[in-house]
Copies of this chain bind each other. A is one copy, B any other.
Amino acid sequence: MDEAAVQDIPTHDVIMIGAGPAALSAAIYTTREDIETLLFERGVIGGLAAVTDKIDNYPGFPDGVEGLNLAQDLQKQAERFGAVIELGEVTAIEDEGEFKRLETTSGTMRARAVLIATGSDYKKIGVPGELELYGRGVHYCATCDGAFYRGKTLAVIGGGNSAVQEAMFLTRFTTHIDLVVRSTIKASDVLQQDLQKFVDDGKITIHLGTITDEIVGVDNAVDKVMATKDGQKVEFKVDGVFVFVGLSPNSQFLKDTPVELDEVGLVLSNEDLQTNLPGVFVAGDIRSGATMQVASAVGEGATAALKIREYLEGRAHPVQN
């Protein structure tokens, strides 16, 4: 490539891919320290947090906070210090040494450092009512929303390790759980043995070979789950539904890049949150080992920003010595 062409490529100090809690927190830190930062968001600014009804466990909000409000406040805070958010997508990353070359929907760009913070989505089962009642009785995270179901009944949909484990966990709160399993339970032997105790105690009822057809709401809240078992219609009258059928990491654009992913498609990193590519960092729900919690994503975003600063300064940043 000739010199003139190189100079035509827009170059940024940091490009962040995604604008959820991890990236916005990182951007608060980088831009507050005058490190020029551009964020790309292909969906909703604020990510999963923005479409979450109420977040009860993000520290600092004693009575919880509306997900959309938190997302807007994170955006305001990052923009206050100079972060620029572009609606668009990064489609490829290439390592050119000092610079990373990014293909984006706004053309080719270069960045001295990159933060991957595209998050993960919960897999959906794709039945009527699931999207409409999301956050109004349909949930995908037991740690986030289980505590809203004290003394209530739930359906849990799924038959893998996490469905079984989270169903058992949710019995801390619930009076009864219907575990709705499409075929058979695929969880580990140990988990299945544990599960049996909850069945014996009458806390969980297992429904094998049961295909969920619809989640039915009344007055904007979950009323029942309709399903088919052995060709017969069955229904489960419940206060809420938790779906655990897997995670869908937003890492498709990394498939043909040198960035290393784990077997699920999450991005691998070292203790400095740096991927196998020097200068390319990762934070939040797309990181292998992520907890799917806003608090953790925010903390990793802040830490990643400090590590990016160290990287750009070409040295480790001692806290105090």
Contact = CB atoms under 8 A, between A and B. Distances in A.
Nearest to A27: B59
Interface string A108-132: 0000000000000011000000000
Residue picked from A80, A122, A245, A296, most chain B C-beta under 10 Å? A296
Interface in A295-321: 295-303, 306, 313, 315, 317-321
Given A33-B146, A146-B33, A299-B298, A60 B57 contact: no
B73 A65 contact: no
Contacts of A25: 59, 295
A220 to B, nearest CB: 25
Interface string A277-293: 00000000000011111
Contacts of A28: 57, 59
Contact of A319 (B29, B74, B77, B247): B247
The number of times this chain is found in the oligomer is: 2
Contacts of A247: 319-321
Interface residues of A, number: 66
B318 A291 contact: no
Given A161-B321, A320-B247, A321-B246, A302 B306 contact: no
Contacts of A319: 162, 247, 290-292
A165 interface: yes
B306 A33 contact: no
Contact of A70 (B60, B161, B293, B297): B60
Contact of A73 (B60, B70, B162, B172): B60
A190 interface: yes
A59 B302 contact: yes
Contact of A60 (B29, B58, B123, B313): B58
| Residue of A165, A301, A313 with most chain B CB atoms under a 10 A cut-off | A165
Contacts of A60: 58, 60-61, 65, 70, 73-74, 77, 298
A280 B177 CA distance: 33
Contacts of A33: 143, 146-147, 169, 172
A80 B96 CA distance: 51
A55 to B, nearest CB: 10
A286 to B, nearest CB: 12
A172 B32 CA distance: 11
B299 A296 contact: yes
A2 interface: no
A313 B32 CA distance: 41
A141 to B, nearest CB: 9
Contacts of A321: 160-162, 246-247, 264
Nearest to A80: B62
A256 interface: no
Contacts of A303: 291, 293, 296, 299
Given A29-B57, A33-B143, A291-B303, 6 more contacts: A34-B172, A59-B298, A60-B60, A62-B80, A123-B320, A298-B299
